Amino acid sequence: MKIAFVSQPFDDSVPPIESGSIQIWTYQVILHLAKEHDITVYAVRKPGNGAFQEEGGIKYRRMSLFWDRWILRFMRLIKFWYRDPRKPHHASVLYYIGYMIQTALDIRRRGYDVVHIHNYSQFVLPIRFFNPRVKIVLHMQGEWLSQLDHGMIRHRLSKVQQILGCSDYLMDKVVDVIPEVKAKVRTLYNGVDTTKFVANGKYDHAEEDQIVRFLFVGRHSPEKGVHDLLRAMQLLRERTDRFHLTVVGPKYVVPSDMIVDISSDPKVRDLRRFYGEDPNNQETYLKALEDLRADGLEDFVTFAGSIPHSQLAELYRDCDVLTNPSLSETFGIALVEGMAAMMPVVATRVGGMPEIVVPEETGFVVESADPEALAEVYYRLVSEAALRRQMGTAGRRRAEAVFDWSIIAANLIDLYRQIPENA
- Residue pair 186/171 in contact (Cβ under 8 Å)? The answer is yes
Has domain 2-191+404-417 been given CATH number 3.40.50.300?
Answer: no
For residue 23, the model assigns a pLDDT of 92
For residue 423, the model assigns a pLDDT of 62
- Assigned superfamily of 212-402: Glycogen Phosphorylase B; (3.40.50.2000)
For residue 283, the model assigns a pLDDT of 92
Domain ranges of the chain: 2-191+404-417, 212-402
Question: pLDDT tens track of the chain, all 423 residues?
Answer: 999 999 999 888 888 887 778 999 999 999 999 999 999 999 999 988 899 999 999 999 999 999 988 888 877 766 655 567 788 878 888 899 999 999 999 999 999 999 999 999 999 999 999 999 999 999 999 999 999 999 999 999 999 999 999 999 999 999 999 999 999 999 999 999 999 999 877 777 666 678 999 999 999 999 999 999 999 999 999 999 999 999 999 999 999 989 999 999 999 999 999 998 888 888 999 999 999 999 999 999 999 999 988 889 999 999 999 999 999 999 999 999 999 999 999 999 999 999 999 999 999 999 999 999 999 999 999 999 999 999 999 999 999 999 999 999 999 999 999 998 866
Conformational region of residue 172, where left means phi above 0, alpha means psi within -120 to 50, and beta covers everything else:
alpha
For residue 82, the model assigns a pLDDT of 59
For residue 207, the model assigns a pLDDT of 66
212-402 matches 2-191+404-417 in CATH topology: yes
For residue 199, the model assigns a pLDDT of 86
For residue 170, the model assigns a pLDDT of 97
The full 3-state SS of the chain, as one line of letters, equals CEEEEECCCCCCCCCCCCCCHHHHHHHHHHHHHCCCCEEEEEEECCCCCCCEEEECCEEEEEECCHHHHHHHHHHHHCHHHCCCCCCCHHHCCCCCHHHHHHHHHHHHHHCCCEEEEECCHHHHHHHHHHCCCCEEEEEECCCHHHHCCHHHHHHHHCCCCEEEECCHHHHHHHHHHCHHHHHHEEECCCCECCCCCCCCCCCCCCCCCCCEEEEEECCCCHHHCHHHHHHHHHHHHCCCCCEEEEEECCCCCCCCCCCCCCCCCHHHHHHHHHCCCCCCCCHHHHHHHHHHHHCCCCCCEEEEECCCHHHHHHHHHHCCEEEECCCCCCCCHHHHHHHHCCCCEEEECCCCHHHHCCECCCEEEECCCCHHHHHHHHHHHHHCHHHHHHHHHHHHHHHHHHHEHHHHHHHHHHHHHCCCCCC
